[in-house]
């Protein structure tokens, strides 16, 4: 049974939503508040009335509460006219749907987002395990922080939800992209511990440099583990992107593994997109 959380729905909107619901789905309705526990839900559907005030802020808070989990957030409204969906997508919404659209079409879209993710294949675990191990090792040795690996899911999107990402290009025998993404508060905590200083002294420039160093150390350490293997790579200079809804590029026809870690109740993600080059004939 899929568990869906409906937020801010009126009784009339609840009835309309039921007409487009998929089978084997249970909907629990709540009013929006800052302490919503959404981790065990398979989907969130947020109702938007005619007034758009604070909708993007609500989406941002819901996305943060997902703790980097791949939980679809659907924004639903009943307006006949098209609305500018881009601000809501940037804030973290997965899709914007209208009751004015075909119920069957909306049902198909919702059902598509409820398809469960897959587990890593043996060959994928071969290259993911060193990244998991080295990420935990780097944070432990450099910051004295115990990062617990929670789960992995696979994504073909180039969107990252977080405040700051360190990105490393991979080339050589294999190629791809490696990125670590934090929300601001956790990044500040980790970098303050790395520098043995108070969090109040950590500014945006230090966070920028610290996140760059973290991704550099994770990729450099893992590179050594792959010597003589198909996944061995060379690294480029790291870059850093700041801002919600930012994007990175992946190679065409490749899938990124999103590894979720937790530190004292806060989460961060390591995105691993790596592909061995096809041997020349």
Q: Which of 136, 131, 229 is nearest to 177 (CA)?
A: 131
Which of 6-20, 99-113, 191-205, 267-281 comes out lowest in average pLDDT? 267-281
- What confidence tens digit (pLDDT) does each residue in 27-36 have? 999 999 988 8
DSSP 159: B
Task: Please report which residue ranges of 3-160 form alpha helices under DSSP H.
Answer: 11-18, 55-65, 86-91, 103-113, 122-143
How many Cα neighbours within 13 Å face the side chain of 235?
20
Does 158 or 49 have the greater pLDDT score?
49
Distance CA 11, CA 255 (A): 40
For the cut 60, the answer to whether the pLDDT of residue 37 exceeds it is: yes
CATH number assigned to the domain with residue range 2-113, chosen from the 4 options 3.40.50.2300, 3.30.2320.80, 3.40.109.10, 3.40.50.150: 3.40.50.2300
Strand partners, 242: 164
What is the pLDDT, as a whole number, of residue 251? 65
Q: Which of 148, 39, 159 is nearest to 90 (CA)?
A: 159
Does 58 or 118 have the greater pLDDT score?
58
Distance CA 272, CA 278 (A): 19
- What confidence tens digit (pLDDT) does each residue in 221-276 have? 999 999 988 889 999 899 999 987 777 766 666 778 999 999 999 999 999 998 88
Residues 6+ apart with CB under 8 A from 175: 233, 251, 274, 275, 277
Distance CA 159, CA 43 (A): 18
Q: What share of the chain is helix, strand, coil (3-state, %, to 5)?
A: 35, 30, 40
Task: Please report which residue ranges of 144-248 form alpha helices under DSSP H.
Answer: 184-194, 204-225
Annotated domain spans of the chain: 2-113, 122-276
Distance CA 3, CA 45 (A): 11
Which of 150-159, 188-197, 272-281 comes out lowest in average pLDDT? 272-281
Residue with token string 């420039």: 205
Superfamily of domain 122-276: CheC-like (3.40.1550.10)
What is the pLDDT, as a whole number, of residue 222? 95
Does 23 or 68 have the greater pLDDT score?
68
Residues 6+ apart with CB under 8 A from 15: none
């Amino acid at each position: 049974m899929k568990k869906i959380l409906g937020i801010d729905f009126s009784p009339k909107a609840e009835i309309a939503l039921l007409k487009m619901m998929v089978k084997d789905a249970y909907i629990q309705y709540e009013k929006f508040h800052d302490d919503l526990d959404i981790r065990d839900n398979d989907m969130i559907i947020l109702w938007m009335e005619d007034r758009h005030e604070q909708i993007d802020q609500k989406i941002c808070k819901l996305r943060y509460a997902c703790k980097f989990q791949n939980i679809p957030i659907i924004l639903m409204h009943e307006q006949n006219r098209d609305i500018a969906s881009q601000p809501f997508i940037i804030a973290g919404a997965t899709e914007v749907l209208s009751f004015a659209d075909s119920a069957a079409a909306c049902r198909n879209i919702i059902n598509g987002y409820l398809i469960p993710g897959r587990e890593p294949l043996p060959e994928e675990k071969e290259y993911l395990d060193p990244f998991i191990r080295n990420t935990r090792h780097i944070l432990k040795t450099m910051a004295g922080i115990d990062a617990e690996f929670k789960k992995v899911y696979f994504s073909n999107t180039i969107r990252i939800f977080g405040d700051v990402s360190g990105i490393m290009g991979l080339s050589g025998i294999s190629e791809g992209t490696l990125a670590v993404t934090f929300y601001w508060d956790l990044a500040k905590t980790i970098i303050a511990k790395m520098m043995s200083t108070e969090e109040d002294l950590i500014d945006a420039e230090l966070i920028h440099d610290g996140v760059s160093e973290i991704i550099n150390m994770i990729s450099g350490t893992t590179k050594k583990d792959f010597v003589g293997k198909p996944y061995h790579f060379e690294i480029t200079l790291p870059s850093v992107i700041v801002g919600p809804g930012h994007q990175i590029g992946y190679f065409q026809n490749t899938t990124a593994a999103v590894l979720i870690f937790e530190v004292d109740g806060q989460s961060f993600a390591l995105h691993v997109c790596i592909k061995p080059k096809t041997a020349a004939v």
